[in-house]
Chain A
Amino acid sequence: MQNTTYHKASSAADAAAKLSGAEDGALLAGGQTLIPTMKQRLAAPSDLVDISGVEEMRGITVSGSTVTIGAMTTHAEVASNAELRSICPGIADLAGHIGDPAVRHRGTLGGSVANNDPAADYPAAMLALGATIKTDKREIAADDFFQGMFSTALDEGEMIVSVSFEAPAKGAYAKFPNPASRYAMCGVFVAQGAGGVRVAVTGAGDDGVFRSADMEDALSGSFSAEALDNVSVSADGMLSDIHGDAAYRANLVKVMAKRAVAAAG
């Protein structure tokens, strides 16, 4: 790892100030992606601004059906929050299957969403739940936020503060994890809420998380796994790598979508 200068932020405003004062700074959340990336020298920020101590960016609030989760909330906290689990079990289950327990103790929702790894789990939840990503500058709809693999609407130095969404009437996530890394080879989040049915797929697309209009249409007619029987998922635009080719992934999309619908009940 290249040397770097470490700063601990005391508040969101302090983090923004420290970041803008740095030559080539990066926010350090849980570090579960950034530190491995720095060790590989794929990233070499001049400064790290650690936001793990910023209390205002942490925590889960449920008010009516509106859920707000601070960017610094860890995967373990999302997985074990009873109030969240009762109103939106899909996202709690998703968080509980990210990586392993030690990764879940450090890794955060904000870090995962900002990173937009094409095989990460949270982007599928954000897109299917129609979440709003709140930054220190503005609010961004999930539909506009994710812009292809590792790419988001965040500007240089912009920081995610929290995300919020309306808990859907029904919602669930089904994931086919890579047996070695536990990242999704395909993960599908389905949600049926006030805005209709939304289906978001991660891990499978060659340009990151995406929505499936065909599956959304089919499920709008009838919210059942059988409703997906006649939907064909094309291999075009699917990832193809040593873990599975495009046709295999296209099939996984349908299988995981059916499992998610069945789990949503």
Chain B
Amino acid sequence: MATVSMTVNGKVVAEVVEDRTLLVDYIREHLRLTGTHVGCDTSQCGACVVHVNGKAVKSCTMLAAAADGAEVTTIEGVANGDLHPMQKAFNDNHGLQCGFCTPGMIMSGIDMVNRYKAEGKTLDEAAIRAELEGNICRCTGYHNIVKSISQAAGEM
């Protein structure tokens, strides 16, 4: 057991946890931020994607202890009064059905738009589909997810 402290959605938190605690369990069970989902627990589905120091990672495949001192953003932290443009775009384009994959899709969507912008590259449909390699959706067939990310990319 050790105290693991980090900044989550702008707020400093500290919890005493077992060393084996995964970041996703720290977020869901200790901080009670249950927007981050566990779909597979085998690093495949991306439902658990959060940002650690500004980069999308699978929080089921990282120890909480390894995020000690980090800046973490979860789905609860992206809206700033109004919905984030990525959230609004999923709403506008029917980018979700059951919604289970959506937090991870939105966190991955924001990450890819940020990266493409920083590198001055165009995030076209083919690029969005390739970037979504690590995010699985059992409902939508992806088409409206791609449309949502494309819309948000124009607005972010």
A106-117: contact bitstring with B at CB < 8 Å (1 yes, 0 no)? 100000000000
Chain A interface secondary structure, helix, strand, loop or mixed?
Answer: mixed
Contact B66 A31 (CB under 8 A): yes
Contact A3 B19 (CB under 8 A): yes
Known contacts A36-B43, A102-B134; is-contact A3 B18 (Cβ 8 Å): yes
B131 within 8 A of A: yes
A8 within 8 A of B: yes
A248 within 8 A of B: no
Known contacts A31-B62, A35-B61, A35-B62; is-contact A99 B134 (Cβ 8 Å): yes
Contact B20 A102 (CB under 8 A): no
Contact A32 B19 (CB under 8 A): no
A182 within 8 A of B: yes
Q: Which residues of B lie under 8 Å from residue A1 when comparing CB positions?
A: 20, 22
Interface size for A (C-beta < 8 A) is 28
B71 within 8 A of A: no
A4 within 8 A of B: yes
B14 within 8 A of A: no
Q: Which residues of A lie under 8 Å from residue B49 when comparing CB positions?
A: 102
A80 within 8 A of B: yes
Contact B19 A105 (CB under 8 A): no
Chain A residue with the shortest CB-CB distance to B54 = A105
Closest chain-B Cβ to A44's Cβ sits at a distance in Å of 10
Closest chain-A Cβ to B70's Cβ sits at a distance in Å of 11
A100 within 8 A of B: yes
In addition to A4-B19, A35-B62, 4 A-B residue pairs with Cβ atoms within 8 Å of each other are A1-B20, A8-B68, A32-B43, A52-B66
Q: Closest 6 A-B residue pairs measured CB to CB?
A: A100-B134, A100-B133, A6-B19, A6-B65, A105-B55, A102-B58
Interface residues of B (CB under 8 A from A): 2, 18-20, 22, 41-44, 46, 49, 55-58, 61-63, 65-66, 68, 108, 111-112, 115, 119, 131, 133-135
